[in-house]
Structure 1
Amino acid sequence: MGAPQIFGNLTQIKHVHSPSNRCSLIQVQVRAEVAMRENIIVSSRGQITLPAGMRKKLGIKPGGVVIVEDRDGEVVLRPAAVIEVDIYGDAEIDRWQSEDRLSASERKRILDKLGSR
């Protein structure tokens, strides 16, 4: 594993007078984070293997979904939040529509007010 890098986020800057009032001090508080860094190789098919430690730390399991972004020339990978979607059949959708208590004119008025049709 590569050497960890320290990144800091500035959380507070405070101006403090010394007890003797002969000088001013600036107090800076930084929240430090340790980032894992490794070199990985891109295969001829464009595939990469994330190191086991990173997968474990980020909770990425086999078959898990990862989002890849290009941020100003840097490749950023992050685990995706996957939400399971239920698939409903035509009969259930028809039942929901039949139970809809809004009249067509009320529905149109609300959709117009929301700006969508």
Structure 2
Amino acid sequence: MEVKASSEKRARNRRSGVRAAAVSAEMLTQVSTRGQITLPAEIRRAAQVRPGDHLLVRVEGGRIVLEPAVIVPVERYTEERMREFAREAEMSPEELDAARKRWGLS
């Protein structure tokens, strides 16, 4: 198993002065009947994986690779919220005239 830190996490660690520990030891873990594994504490510490973190999992050259994932929340907009955006995006006649002049359209 290969454990890698994301480039974003490594950059953040460099800025904060944290150095990633190199993990050279192989550790054995077992897959449960539900397909779950436990990452040994030493591996979690070295990869700076905390409870609740999300990991990307992929197979690469026959190896299982786990990599920290960045989760970005996405807002689902209601019709009311969409109308609010439209109202806020509207230009007054004065703003529209000023924009047309700046853009050379009048």
The alignment's TM-score, normalised by the length of structure 2, stands at: 0.52
Q: How many residues align?
A: 70
Q: What 5-or-longer segments of structure 1 have no aligned partner?
A: 1-32, 103-117
**2-side partners of 1:70 and 1:53: how far apart?**
22
Q: Which residue of 1 aligns with 2:23?
A: 35
1:100 corresponds to 2:100? no
- 1:49-106 CA distance string (max 9 Å, x none): 001122223232222211101112111011111223345543222111233359xxxx
Q: Which residue of 2 aligns with 1:68?
A: 57
Q: Which residue of 2 aligns with 1:46?
A: 35
Bigger helix share: 2
**2-side partners of 1:49 and 1:81: how far apart?**
21
**2-side partners of 1:73 and 1:56: how far apart?**
25
**DSSP-derived class of the 1:96 partner:** helix
Identity of aligned residues (%): 31
- Does the 8 A contact of 2:31 with 2:37 survive in 1? yes
Query: In the alignment, which of 69, 78, 86 is matched to residue 80 of structure 1?
Result: 69
Q: What 5-or-longer segments of structure 2 have no aligned partner?
A: 1-20, 92-106
**2-side partners of 1:79 and 1:35: how far apart?**
16
> Shift in Å at residue 45 of structure 1?
1.3
Counterpart of 2:50, as a letter, is: K
The alignment's TM-score, normalised by the length of structure 1, stands at: 0.48
Q: Which residue of 1 aligns with 2:7?
A: none
Q: RCO greater where, 1 or 2, for CA within 8 Å and sep 6 or more?
A: 2
